[in-house]
Amino acid sequence: MISFDNVSKYYPSKKGRQYVFKEVNIQIPVDNNIGVLGPNGVGKSTLIRMMGGTDIPNFGQIHSNKKISWPLGLQGGLQSSMSARENTRFVARIHGYRNTKEIEDKVAEFAGIGDYFNEPVKTYSSGMRSKVTFGLATAFDFNFDVLLIDELRAVGDANFKQKSTAILEERYKNKTIIMVSHSMTELKKFCQAGIVIKNQNVVFHHDIKDAIQDYEETYVTNQ
């Protein structure tokens, strides 16, 4: 269960406060995989970032007794001046690992980007970034209860999609995945439940089909 307690989030803009969420009160059950739906700029990433503890609400609180991952997305997470190996080392260290070699090898193997693993992340394509990001989060032998994925799989090649699908289906079978995606087939494949962001609020649907329908009725104009 992830509880939102009167959560508001705004970003300052030239026209004043731009509210993304306004007084959200909801309890999101995390026993099923959840797809997050909404058009660009509605606050999907903000929601994921707040759940992962990367961003904090301006008002209210989010709490959960589950072990939630950091948000796995193309933005943030990897420092672009450091190589993938240095990023991996960093993440291992902040999680209290003293011997980082094992994890470095695991991530390098998953990413499969060869010598680029030792080059700065800023030289990577977005597909390579997504491989490293995903490999990094799944290399640790502690598993998260909830894995947050923000449009990460869309940019990967077939090989990466296959490998990551295997991990999601096997290792995260009894865990929860919360996933942002614009691909309805992907959402239907992985998720049972859905969240639609509308009117600066979070709407939870127990069935992903209802969520997709709600999303299409609210946002998709040319049906």
Partner 1 sequence: MTKVSLSTGVTPKRTSWQIMCNTVHALLMRELKTRFGANRLGYFWALAEPVMAASVLAILFTFIGRSSLAGVPVALFIFSGMLPFQFFSKLLPQLSAAVQANKALLSYKQVAAIDPIITRVVIESATFIVVYIIILSAMAWLGLDVFPNDLLALIAASVLLLILGVGLGLLLCSAVTFWKDTGKVVQIVMRPMFFISGIFFTATMVPTQYWYLFSWNPIFHILELSRDAFFITYTTPIGDWRFVSEISLGTFCLGLMTFKLCRHRLIAR
DSSP label at residue 40? T
Binding status of residue 76 toward partner 1 by CB under 8 A: yes
Q: State how far the Cα of 83 lies from the Cα of 91, in Å rounded to an integer.
A: 12
Taking CB under 8 A as the rule, does residue 129 contact partner 1? no
The answer to whether 145 contacts partner 1 (rule: CB under 8 A) is no
Alpha carbon of residue 136 to chain centroid: 13
C-alpha 143/C-alpha 47 separation (Å) is: 22
CA separation (Å) from 62 to 68, 71, 193, 206? 12, 15, 20, 20
Which member of 3, 19, 26, 55 binds partner 1 (CB under 8 A)?
Answer: 55
> Interaction with partner 1 in 84-103: which residues (CB under 8 A)?
86, 89-91, 93-99, 102-103
Judged by CB under 8 A, the stretch of 68-76, 157-165, 196-204, 210-218 that binds partner 1 is 68-76
What is the C-alpha separation between 58 and 138, in angstroms, rounded? 31
Residue 38 or 71: the one with the smaller Cβ distance to partner 1 is 71
Q: 109: helix, coil or strand?
A: helix
* Residue ranges in contact with partner 1 by CB under 8 A: 11-12, 49, 52-56, 58, 70-71, 75-82, 86, 89-91, 93-99, 102-103, 141-142
